[in-house]
Structure 1
């Protein structure tokens, strides 16, 4: 409930009911005079919802549906209050969905492990990651042209022979350390199951920058500017995931690792970073990875080192669970 400005001011001018001038002095509740009739009338208007919920003034018939008077200050305050309420409702709904995801994923993990005689389900840490639910669609020519223009500008800068400006001393890197091979294998197994949720921010730029193209140029000194441009354009397909990076295709990223930005090669979502942080110093690396979207589970994968056991029928309750076995080495 918003606090009426009249309750915050040290003085009040006129009675909200009878319009009689009010004496100067400490603020009176609701800016009413001392007459009992005014207090009774105001209480009746309050019960009927016929006073402004911001300033407390009686409302006209036109103002009553919104319970806000027509003054600009009250209108702005009402809009702000509504936005806060919507945000709080959405946050509560989102929190409930996350809680449901964790509960459903935990039950699924415990069922799967019990079916294989594993009595300690917590030995396979549970990790819930996002999931891409959008489908593939033709890549519009307009997006290709936007990317072509952006790529051409970046290539020109990468091949610019003018001396680079003096850069300030490099600050300590805040990027997470590169995972050791055995950990990276598990992370990549899990990362692949979400089908590229993080790629959705790539848009028509694919996270490419001048430094990425300079690194690619250094690895391929035989290629001139036109060849580098052609190499990147040649990997743009005809179909991509809707509202995602133009290189985000059915079988994953169309770019080779050496062509991707450093961000793309090193990025792991928050859930996978926490999994990596909590790994034991020694021993096998394993986990139960579930992808979900707004409370609905989509895929589940039991990962142990380089082996992935893909659980099918995630939304059902098979006993024992139906599984497909996928041995991925390295």
Structure 2
């Protein structure tokens, strides 16, 4: 069932894999009449899992081909003069695009949580807010995050990653404020509407909280795409151009055959600005032949 050396033994030979041996081992306790349909179900599940894995791998292969085609197109449009090294090539997720009015129940729940965190803050260990001055001289990280629009914020929910340590750090910086005033300052910072399916403070323009009120997680987190850029900027020479292929799924969506992961935009980033492109329809080679695609550049 799982591959590997086959062990002959009776009418149901098994491979060396532990899972396979466990399935065949149930025959003794079940009897042949019950074991035969059980084995058929197990075999069908294995085939289904293998087919799913193969499908995901094929989609990943197609995605890599699409990305490569888009990056090549961007490189031709930007030209070698912008970056003789060809630019840094990054695949970027997307934050949610729909905005929804903030429900009163979310606002009330947020206030209750803040009150609880403030009461815990008296005994909490203070969080150290991230120092981002290392990369403040470059606009590229901010441009990359702005293009994504919060793909990493979708797990923020109604807690916004705030902890007792976050509140204690804020209270230490503002000793003149009472506990109630601290809570109300956070509640007053809530936007009238936030991005659907995302953090309560997530707006189309970014986080509604000032940076010194955010959690250390929010101030310090770097997704894989941003981490690649920050790492490249430490190199010599640092990239002058970032070529971005953006896809529709957010940072937290797992890969799968039913996941909407279409290409939604292509862009080049420089210190001077962000330039979006429309890629013309092309024929792209895929694992199952040649197909027509026009999936790019809607913003």
TM-score, length-scaled by structure 2: 0.69
In structure 2, stretches of 5+ residues that fail to align are: 13-23, 249-259, 283-296
Partner residue in 2 for 1:13: none
Displacement of 1:152 after TM fit?
Answer: 0.8
The partner residue of 2:142 within 188, 194, 203 is 188
Aligned partner of 1:299 among 265, 282, 288: 265
Deviates more, 1:208-217 or 1:93-102: 93-102
Q: 1:100: Cα distance to partner?
A: 2.9
Q: Aligned partners of 1:297, 1:165: CA distance in 2, in Å? A: 44
Q: How does 1:66-215 map to 2 (within 5 A)?
A: 68-69=37-38, 78=42, 82=45, 88-118=50-80, 123-158=86-121, 160=122, 164=123, 179-183=134-138, 185-215=139-169
Give the match for residue 311 of structure 1. 276
Question: Shift of residue 246 of structure 1?
Answer: 0.8
Q: CA deviation at 1:157?
A: 2.1
Which consecutive unaligned segments of at least 5 residues does structure 1 have?
Answer: 9-26, 32-51, 168-172, 318-322, 324-330
Contact 1:291 1:299 in 2 (8 A): yes
Higher radius of gyration, 1 or 2: 1
Are 1:110 and 1:121, in contact at CA under 8 Å, matched by a contact in 2?
Answer: no
Q: Secondary structure, in 3 states, of the residue corresponding to 2:177?
A: coil
2:222 maps to 1:268 = yes
Equivalents in 2 of 1:193, 1:123: separation in Å?
20
How many residues were matched structurally?
Answer: 255
Q: Residue 36 of structure 1 corresponds to which residue in structure 2?
A: none
Separation of aligned partners in 1, 2:198 and 2:48: 27
1:179 and 1:315, CA in 2 relative to 1: closer, same or farther beyond 3 A? farther
CA distance in 1, matches of 2:57, 2:133: 31
Residue in 2 aligned with 1:256?
210
Q: Distance in 2 between matches of 1:206 and 1:256?
A: 13
Q: CA deviation at 1:135?
A: 1.8
Post-superposition Cα deviations, 1:22-53, rounded to whole Å, max 9, x if no partner, equal: xxxxx95228xxxxxxxxxxxxxxxxxxxx9x
TM-superposed deviation, 1:239: 2.2
Task: Give the secondary-structure state (helix, strand or coil) at the position aligned to 1:208.
Answer: coil
What SS class does the counterpart of residue 37 from structure 2 fall into?
Answer: coil
1:281 aligns with 236
Change (3 A) 1:315 1:208: farther
Q: Residues 89 and 290 of structure 1: is their aligned pair in 2 closer, same or farther, counting only changes over 3 Å?
A: same
Map 1:46-85 onto structure 2 (within 5 A): 55=27, 68-69=37-38, 78=42, 82=45
What SS does the aligned partner of 2:245 have?
Answer: strand
- What corresponds to 2:175 in structure 1? 221
Distance 1:177 1:220, change over 3 A: closer
Normalization by structure 1: what TM-score? 0.63
C-alpha displacement of 1:200 = 0.6
Tell me the distance in 2 between the aligned counterparts of 1:199 and 1:273: 16
